[in-house]
């Protein structure tokens, strides 16, 4: 990651939509003195089925917006943007930028005893093989699987739903077959998408007990908390400021579920007019 030397008061958190609120929820608990700005690029969601060029263009404009709002440290809470656009974002902004692929891979390295890891994510993240590369750098063997049905199921609120349970069973039976063919003995599953922590219990129930599920929301918050020193000062920081590029009402409604607490105000912004072609 970029040098964690900063003492940021304002931390910008970016996701394609609502899913990154699972990361913000964990950071609010672990960094109580920080002030958070959260941007959900809901007008251009989903990122998970788009090309690297498009995701990079969207993610860079979002990062620049957060910087213009005074963010001194950026957390790219979107796995797809972290996988496809982290270098482009780091090249575009002069503040430290942390992505969730590296934090997830660090956690897998800490927890896996067998050294064999499975990753589930969006199609774009899997096609980028960013997790595979991050795992290899850490001497882990990994297999990846795209689970494109899970984002819409979560957005529909079908968390504890028979259809979701069946979809998970099918995905995991294919994933475990993939592991057998590759002669891996996985003991860890990395949730490589912001939406999946909401299905954590259902995912754990669909897997053998020997497999530990790692949620990048918690580990990202822990790594931010460990790498920055937020200046204190006694006063309680202001509540997070939420920005969305589409439908503040939908953001409030769905976002409250991801954040686990009510969201009262969301500011609508337009990134398109400042983003070329």
Positions marked active-site: 78, 193
Residue 131 tokens read as 């997790």
| Interface pick for ligand DGL out of 10, 13, 14, 16 (rule CB under 6 A) | 16
Matching residue, tokens 């897998």: 108
Q: Could you tell me which residues are beta bridge partners of residue 244?
A: 40, 268
Burial 177-193 (b: 16+ CB within 10 A, else e): eebeeeebebbbbbbbb
Nearer to ligand DGL, 46 or 240 (CB): 46
| Interface pick for ligand DGL out of 42, 61, 62, 80 (rule CB under 6 A) | 80
- 112 contributes a contact to ligand DGL by CB under 6 A: no
| Interface pick for ligand DGL out of 12, 40, 46, 197 (rule CB under 6 A) | 46
| Interface pick for ligand DGL out of 62, 79, 202, 245 (rule CB under 6 A) | 79
CB of 159 to ligand DGL, least distance (A): 16
Nearer to ligand DGL, 46 or 255 (CB): 46
Alpha-carbon distance of 167 to 234, in angstroms, equals: 48
Alpha-carbon distance of 251 to 54, in angstroms, equals: 23
Q: Which stretch binds ligand DGL (CB under 6 A): 21-29, 135-143, 187-195, 198-206?
A: 187-195
- 248 contributes a contact to ligand DGL by CB under 6 A: no
Stretch (H or E) spanning 236: none
Site residues for ligand DGL, window 217-236 (CB under 6 A)? none
| Interface pick for ligand DGL out of 125, 164, 220, 245 (rule CB under 6 A) | 125
CB of 125 to ligand DGL, least distance (A): 6
- 47 contributes a contact to ligand DGL by CB under 6 A: yes
| Interface pick for ligand DGL out of 193, 199, 221, 230 (rule CB under 6 A) | 193
Alpha-carbon distance of 231 to 61, in angstroms, equals: 28
Stretch (H or E) spanning 215: strand 212-215
- 244 contributes a contact to ligand DGL by CB under 6 A: no
Q: What are the C-alpha distances in Å from 240 to residues 38, 39, 159, 225, 275?
A: 7, 10, 26, 17, 25
- 19 contributes a contact to ligand DGL by CB under 6 A: yes
CB atoms inside a 10 Å sphere around CB 114: 13
Helix (H, G, I), strand (E, B) or coil at 239: coil
Q: Are 172 and 206 in contact (CB under 8 A)?
A: yes
Binding interface with ligand DGL (CB under 6 A): 15-17, 19, 45-48, 78-80, 122, 125, 151, 193-195
């Amino acid at each position: 990651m970029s040098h964690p030397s900063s003492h940021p008061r304002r931390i910008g958190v970016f996701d394609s939509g609502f899913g990154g609120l699972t990361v913000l929820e964990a950071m609010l608990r672990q960094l109580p003195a920080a002030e958070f700005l959260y941007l959900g690029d809901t007008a251009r969601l989903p990122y998970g089925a788009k090309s690297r060029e498009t995701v990079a263009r969207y993610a860079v404009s979002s990062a620049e917006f957060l910087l213009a709002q005074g963010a001194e440290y950026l957390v790219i809470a979107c796995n797809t943007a972290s996988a496809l656009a982290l270098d482009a974002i780091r090249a575009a902004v002069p503040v430290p930028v942390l992505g969730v692929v590296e934090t997830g891979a660090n956690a897998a390295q800490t927890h896996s005893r067998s050294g064999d890891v499975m990753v589930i994510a969006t199609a774009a993240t899997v096609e980028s093989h960013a997790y595979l590369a991050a795992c290899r750098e850490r001497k882990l063997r990994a297999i990846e699987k795209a689970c494109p049905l899970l984002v819409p199921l979560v957005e529909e609120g079908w968390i504890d739903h028979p259809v979701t349970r069946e979809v998970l069973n099918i995905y995991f039976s294919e994933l475990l077959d993939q592991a057998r063919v590759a002669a891996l003995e996985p003991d860890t599953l990395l949730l490589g998408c912001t939406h999946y922590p909401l299905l954590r219990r259902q995912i754990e129930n669909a897997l053998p007990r020997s497999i530990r599920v790692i949620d990048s929301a918690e580990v990202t918050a822990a790594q931010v908390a460990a790498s920055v020193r937020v200046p204190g000062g006694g006063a309680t920081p202001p509540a997070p400021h939420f920005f969305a590029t589409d439908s503040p009402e939908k953001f409030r409604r769905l976002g409250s579920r991801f954040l686990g607490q009510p969201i009262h105000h969301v500011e609508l912004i337009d990134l398109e007019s400042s983003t070329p072609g």
